[in-house]
Amino acid sequence: MQLDLNLLTVLDALLEEGSVQGAADRLRLSSPAVSRSLGRIRRLTGDDILVRTGRTMTPTPYALAVREQVGDLVRQAATVLAPSRELNLADLERTFTLQCHDALATSLAPPLLATIMRVAPGVRVRFLAEPAFDTDDLRHGRTDLEIGASGPSQPEFRTETVGRDRVVVVRRGNHPYGGKLDLAAYAAHPHVLVSRRGRLTDAVDDILAAHGLRRRVLAAVATAATAMHLINRSDSLLTVPQATWRPLIDAFGLVTEPLPVEVPQPPIVCSWHQRYDTDTAHAWLRSQVGAALQATLT
């Protein structure tokens, strides 16, 4: 059976006003239009709804029994079709899932969670590591926000570049080569790479090859913490974005030097599915993530 849900609105007005004319005035419709709708409601329900008693109309027992329910249904429908865009952070209960490299999570989490604890205590955040292979988590809503050096290109996704970082060389403080690294010295030392897929080369190797140089990559590791331990206990070098890695560099007591060759500054890109474009809570999360990331870059 196909129902015209507009009849609920008319029925609500009839039960509230107690007359066809009153309902017509409230709904800004003509009396004949409301009378026709009342006729349809009577046929659907098998009840008279309103009956004439002298100069007034009286609701039937059935009408009295469903009046409150009808009013609730109309209000619920209005809420669904015209949702409020106001966000009450104090009452917000929601869990957001963010996916990014663990070094980036180490930099992002403290300022982001401090804000959440202060203004949105009902919000929780999952920080997931980057997977070894691409997934559909963002498309299927298993991840709310992905943060990395690039974003998906499909039109169903939205991306925002928050800022750009500066690439530096990380070494231990008592490294044998304590002077300023030139390109040849940089290439001569062993290196550690961080790669979720275990790659043993990156864009730096192409730059070195253009200068007739080749470095020895000793190992590729999946996490920032492993890389920091290796650099702290060896003569290897690590080449990473400075700002996002700063908390780990400081925690391990490591030092940085400028990379002895110009390389593009890697972007920090936030990506989300278009279904969240008008979600006020998600928009608030994106703004807080962006502010926390920009603060790390200053």
Give the start-to-end residue ranges of the domains of the chain. 6-81, 93-164+267-297, 167-258
Q: For position 298, what pLDDT does the model report?
A: 80
Q: For position 1, what pLDDT does the model report?
A: 52
Lowest average pLDDT, out of 83-97, 174-188, 211-225, 267-281, goes to 174-188
List all residues 6 or more positions away from 218 whose beta carbon is below 8 Å from its beta carbon.
190, 191, 192, 234, 236
The average confidence (pLDDT) of the chain is: 91
Cβ–Cβ < 8 Å for 236, 191: yes
Cβ–Cβ < 8 Å for 120, 92: yes
More confidently predicted of 70 and 82: 70
> Tens digit of pLDDT for each residue in 226-247?
999 999 999 999 999 999 999 9
Please count the other Cβ atoms lying within 10 Å of the Cβ belonging to residue 88: 11
CA distances from 154 to 15, 30, 133, 142, 151 (A): 51, 50, 17, 18, 9
Q: For position 178, what pLDDT does the model report?
A: 64
Identical fold at 6-81 and 167-258?
Answer: no
Lowest average pLDDT, out of 74-83, 97-106, 163-172, 222-231, goes to 74-83
Q: For position 75, what pLDDT does the model report?
A: 85
Q: For position 84, what pLDDT does the model report?
A: 65
Q: How large a percentage of the chain has pLDDT more than 90?
A: 69
Q: Is the pLDDT of residue 165 over 70?
A: yes
For residue 73, give both structure tokens. Answer: 């249904």
CATH number of 93-164+267-297: 3.40.190.10
Cβ–Cβ < 8 Å for 241, 167: yes
CATH number of 6-81: 1.10.10.10
> Tens digit of pLDDT for each residue in 179-218?
678 899 999 999 999 998 899 999 999 999 999 999 999 9
pTM for the model stands at 0.74
Residues 167-258, CATH architecture: 3-Layer(aba) Sandwich (3.40)
Half-sphere exposure of 135 (CA within 13 A, CB side): 13
- Rounded mean pLDDT, 58-65: 92
At residue 139, the 3 state secondary structure works out as: coil
